[in-house]
A and B are shown apart, each in its own frame.
Chain A
Amino acid sequence: MACDVAAHARLRVPWSGVAAMRRQPPPLPAGAPSVALLKHADEQTVVALAALSEAVRDPRLDGADFSAWGILAGPCYPGRAAVVTALDRFKVEGAWGMSPHLIPHRSLHSLSGTLSHALKTHGPNFGVAGSPGDAAEVLRHAAALLDVGVCGLWVVLTRVFPEAEIDATGNHLVPVHVEAAALALRPSPGSENGSPRLRLTLTGAGSDGADRGPRTADCGLAGLLDLLDRAEREGSAAWRLPDGGRLEAARTEDRR
């Protein structure tokens, strides 16, 4: 099961820098999203939208129509800092103090839903996993969706790094960054606008791979970015997945 990475972008933003980004959503082909879209959004959503906006500008996607694309998102512990303050407020104020925005905007579905709204995509959108090390899980769903005829997919992965302790006011005890990666995937072969940069091939699953060599330690966002970097640099790179499958990234374009 193969798919092409038509474009990808990554972003790493200090936690303290997210507030400014929230007030100024980035431009997108569908038009600038309304400021209200990000008002209650999770920090991971804010940075993901910026990463998506950067990936969309890749020349390989010039003229692409995203309206039928889908969005799969894998945030990591969405809403944790907001829940700290929400819990404290709930303990003091009771039901009246509970924000109505927490569930719609800080849950596992929230990232994909917000990006779908911002980019005006009408393909399927859903969230996957929600824990560290789940990039492979998101890619497995992506491959399955592309196989049933979804014409393109944005796969967006996010996390707060490092995963740090939070004080009672919702602030991290050490400086943290919000990281996001956005990948534009298309069925392989079949890119409309020139060569894709990379091809991902997912094979096998389900035998737990105990007798087929060590599993890849980091199948999360950082591990995926490392996999893509190595493929661009060395031509190809591969993961042994926790469920026994194998994910290979291979450079497809001539870089001379």
Chain B
Amino acid sequence: MSQPGAVWITGIGTATPFGGGTAAFADALLAGRSAVRRVTGFDVRDHPSQIAGQLGDVPCPPPFETPAGLQPFTGRSDVPFAALHPWERLVLWCCSSALADSGLWARRAELRVGIVLGVGAEWLLDWEADSLGGGNEVRRARPADALGLTARAKRLLGLTGPASSVSAACASANFALAQARQWLRLGWADVCLAGACDASVTPMSLAGFGNLRALSRRNDDPATASRPFDRGRDGFVMGEGGAVFVLEPEAAARRRGARAYAEVAGCGASSDAHNMVIPSPDPGPAADAVRRALADAGVAPEQVDYVNAHATSTPVGDIAEARVLASVFGPALGRVPVSSTKSMTGHLLTAAAAVEALACVVAMQRRALPPTINLDDPDPECPLLHVAHHAWERPVRVALSNSFGFGGSNTCLVLRAV
């Protein structure tokens, strides 16, 4: 059995549509700014949804300023960082800057540093980029020893711990954090990178989600298109970015005097077993995931200071989540502030849970709750204590973040201030 013990977040690496680094993300979130714009980079005239929170240029991490050893999907070796696919750049930036932030970059060879990343449509993105660029990789047999994105990142970062990609669609990163915490408790790694990255605003993905009728069509007013819990919501807005955390056992972090951002206090998961795309009308399974996370953290519902909702701005999903929260919080529901930061970032899909865990950390660090913007006309079927339009100043000791995904995956993460 594993050794129970607290696991802390001691480093953060992130890039979002607001730019690289936690400060840019925190400033934008607490100012209530929208990152959603008309999509650039490819022709969207035929797409039902033409807006997204797109990632800008990902900074090149100092260790990768020389191209030696960088080998992208296509197999060409020694290419400059800028020639890698956006999601490869994102992963390397987030991982290396998280390790640097924790003070462990220079020590990574001495430690067993594991890595668990939420990576959803890695091959689809690779094949699409290659094919639309004139290549034919998708039709070729890949070599038996081909490495996936996380394994490539492990090699490029010079890590020696176990490595894995996990995917539960939009719930992926909560699984990554939960599994990484467990790897540490089992002694399989000394330190573990955990999080997720996604750069899916591509011609085919935007068309696929658009044709699924999952996306907002408020193309004329991008900044107001993502409006979770609002009566006028008409679908989600795609976003891009990622966040990777350095997880470390409390005891080890204390020994080296590490800065702690938060404790990964509780994780819970369940499956709807209802539909591949639509959330279950029965709040029971998702509520189980939330209750498990609270129980894992040893926290009662009324002790939660802030809920970062999954709420993507779809007509069905937001109501389903409101029912889940009502089921879990009962009479305390009206006293627990809730917001959906997707109103500002868009929905970062595989990376959503990672970036929303970061939003919870921001709330703890800045003692302020990020708002749900565009919540002009709250849906009466979502009767929650909404943090609407503007951030609320208040201390956060315990934050809860829900993430639900295609395939019926429900996950919940509880973070506790350290």
Contact = CB atoms under 8 A, between A and B. Distances in A.
Interface string B115-157: 0000111111001100110000011111011111001000000
A133 to B, nearest CB: 7
B121 A83 contact: no
A13 interface: no
Contacts of B207: 90, 94-96, 98
Interface in A108-148: 108-110, 112-114, 116-117, 119-134, 137, 140-141, 143-145, 147-148
Interface stretch (B82-90, B178-186, B254-262): B178-186
- Interface bin, chain B: 35 or more
A152 interface: no
Contacts of A245: 162, 188
A186 B194 CA distance: 26
A168 B139 CA distance: 8
Given A95-B207, A131-B147, A122 B273 contact: yes
Contacts of A122: 270-273, 285, 288
B65 interface: no
A163 B142 contact: yes
B378 interface: no
B211 A87 contact: no
Interface in B260-282: 269-277
Contacts of B164: 128-129, 137, 140-141
A24 B391 CA distance: 53
B127 A83 contact: yes
B172 A109 contact: yes
A63 interface: no
Nearest to A244: B160
Nearest to A111: B407
B208 interface: yes
A95 B48 contact: yes
A126 B120 CA distance: 10
B345 interface: no
A62 interface: no
B270 A167 contact: no
B208 A125 contact: no
Contacts of A207: 112, 160
A119 B271 CA distance: 11
Nearest to A220: B144
B276 A127 contact: no
Contacts of B46: 94-96
Given A87-B127, A116-B407, A124-B271, A107 B208 contact: no
B106 interface: no
B3 to A, nearest CB: 11
Contacts of A137: 162-164
A178 to B, nearest CB: 15
A134 B163 CA distance: 10
Interface stretch (A4-12, A51-59, A73-81, A190-198): A73-81
A103 B168 contact: no
A120 B272 CA distance: 8
A65 interface: no
A240 interface: no
Contact of B406 (A96, A113, A144): A113
Interface in B324-343: none
Interface string A83-97: 110110011001110
Contacts of A120: 273
A123 B139 contact: no
Contacts of B182: 144-145, 147-148
Contacts of B271: 70-71, 113, 116, 121-125
B124 A121 contact: no
* A129, A162, A167 interface centre (most CB from chain B within 10 Å): A129
Interface of A: 1, 70-71, 77-80, 83-84, 86-87, 90-91, 94-96, 98-100, 102-110, 112-114, 116-117, 119-134, 137, 140-141, 143-145, 147-148, 162-168, 204-208, 243-245
Which 6 A-B pairs give the minimum distances between C-beta atoms? A113-B407, A206-B112, A98-B207, A108-B167, A100-B212, A124-B269
24 contacts: A70-B269, A84-B138, A87-B131, A87-B138, A91-B131, A91-B132, A96-B211, A103-B124, A104-B276, A107-B124, A109-B172, A109-B407, A116-B407, A126-B167, A126-B175, A126-B409, A127-B168, A137-B164, A141-B164, A147-B1, A168-B139, A204-B188, A206-B114, A243-B161
Interface of B: 1-2, 44, 46-48, 112, 114, 119-124, 127-128, 131-132, 138-142, 144-148, 151, 160-169, 171-172, 175, 179, 182-183, 186, 188-190, 203-213, 269-277, 285, 288, 405-409, 411
